Structure 1
Amino acid sequence: MTGEHDAPVIIDGGDKSCVRLLLELRGRLAELPAGTIVHLIASDPAAPLDLAAWCHMTGHGYLGTVPPPYGDTPAYALSVAAAPRPTEASSPWRPRD
């Protein structure tokens, strides 16, 4: 388990659309222990809204924007949940029944 002072895991989403970002993010988060802090770098202007909604739906903690050092591209922080709610395989924004 990561500690409070561990460095965050950086995921560079570049200019990917939110759908592609969430697909990649879901896979990457599944590999990380609960409590890990992740910084997602993403230029998609919808990222802060979509990421916050996705975290709420899945149970991951949305921690808000991250100040620089990531240059001009915005970054957003989240905390990996211990038992996230699963989503559809091809639709990361839809809960799995």
Structure 2
Amino acid sequence: MTGTEPPGLTVDGTGLRCVALLLQLRKAIAGLPPGTVVHVIATDPAAPLDLPAWCHLIGHSYLGPLPEPGPLAYALRIGGEARPVDASRPWHLAP
């Protein structure tokens, strides 16, 4: 299965910097079952680097950029063993 399968959720982070995007993404995916595919729309130029790194840190699978709706869309799959992050700093694991 790839990120091109229909998403269970699409998160629109248009105009958000990656920190705000990750906070919004974390809130949006809370409680989703493992295996759910999430499409993320992100205009921040750092998103292609930050999203895979965040997924690796948290325990989700980064599936890569999507051909549609355009070059600013990415896919990830919710992991079964997701690790909790600090509430105010989504790029740090919770203590």
Task: Indicate the residue corresponding to 1:89 in structure 2.
Answer: 87
Task: Indicate the residue corresponding to 1:41 in structure 2.
Answer: 41
Cα separation, 2, equivalents of 1:7 and 1:18: 24
TM-score by length of 1: 0.87
Q: Which runs of 5+ in 2 are unaligned?
A: none
- Identity among equivalent positions (%) equals 53
RMSD: 1.6
The Cα of 1:7 is off from its aligned counterpart by: 2.3
TM-score by length of 2: 0.88
Cα separation, 2, equivalents of 1:89 and 1:39: 22
1:13 is the counterpart of 2:13? yes
Q: Which runs of 5+ in 1 are unaligned?
A: none
**Residue in structure 1 matching 2:77, options 76, 79, 82:** 79
The Cα of 1:85 is off from its aligned counterpart by: 0.7
* Cα shift readout 1:20-51 (whole Å, capped 9, x = no counterpart): 00001111111311100011001100001001
AA partner of residue 91 (structure 2) = W
